[in-house]
Structures are given as C-alpha cells and as structure tokens.
C-alpha cells in the first residue's frame, strides 16, 4: 500500500509519500481543542468497520446516491469560514473517504477497494 500526500497552497502542489493514512496531528489537536474528544485517527481506525456506531457519540448519518456520509461538527465560525469537523463517506463500490477540517486546514484521506490510500492536505 502506498499513501500519497498532496499539500496545496494556492496553486503550488507537492507530493510526499508515506505509509500511515493517519489524520495530521495538528488537525487532531485542533479538533480536540474545539470539543471533539475522540476524533477518528485515520482511515484504519477500527470504529470505521462499523460506522453506524458513530451515531452513539453524536455523529449524523446522511445517505447519498453512492453510499452514506457520517458527519461530526465540533465547532464552526461561519463569519470567518472556519470549521472543526470530520466527515466519513462510505461508497457502494468499497471506496472510503475521511475528511478532517480544523479551522482552515483540511485533510482528505481516501482508500480504494484495493487498499490504496491517498492523503491530500489543503489550506484555505
């Protein structure tokens, strides 16, 4: 399994390869600081094997045409377009996506049915 990390700043892109598929530490710290006590740690977090269990801890489930979306928003500042949240999407074809946002920094982890993981980090 190869994980690709893409960092985006304005129009510049840099690819960095790693093996972890984990949520960035700064994002995890930001979520905790804004009231999300136990954020999803990465694409391999065991809680994602049964995502319906997330509903017990305040996550919301929403169906969409290709699967299901689970969302937890810890905090939001609409005036400054900042949010502290995680969104997990499970697609019918076996693809999964975990998007984590803390303030203006967003990380999107995606895993294909074959087990390939890609990580993209964007700063708004």
At 21-65, the pLDDT tens digits run 899 999 999 999 999 989 999 999 999 999 999 998 899 999 999
In a domain, 54, yes or no: yes
The number of domains in the chain is 1
pLDDT value at residue 80? 85
pTM for this predicted structure: 0.83
In a domain, 52, yes or no: yes
In a domain, 4, yes or no: no
Confidence label for 124 from pLDDT (cuts 50, 70 and 90): confident
CA 84 to chain CA centroid, nearest Å: 11
In a domain, 12, yes or no: no
Print the domain residue range for 58: 22-118
In a domain, 47, yes or no: yes
pLDDT value at residue 10? 39
Confidence label for 113 from pLDDT (cuts 50, 70 and 90): very high
């Amino acid at each position: 399994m190869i994980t690709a990390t893409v960092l985006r700043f304005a129009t510049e892109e840099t690819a960095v390869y790693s093996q972890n598929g984990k949520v960035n530490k700064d994002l995890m710290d930001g979520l905790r600081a804004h009231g999300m006590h136990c954020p999803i740690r990465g694409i391999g977090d065991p809680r994602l094997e049964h995502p319906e269990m997330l509903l017990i801890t305040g996550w919301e489930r929403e169906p969409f045409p290709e699967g299901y979306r689970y969302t937890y928003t810890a905090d939001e500042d609409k005036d400054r377009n900042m949010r502290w949240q995680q969104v997990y999407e499970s697609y019918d074809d076996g693809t999964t996506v975990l998007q984590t946002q803390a303030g203006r920094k967003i990380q999107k982890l995606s895993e294909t049915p074959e087990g390939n993981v890609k990580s993209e980090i964007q700063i708004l």
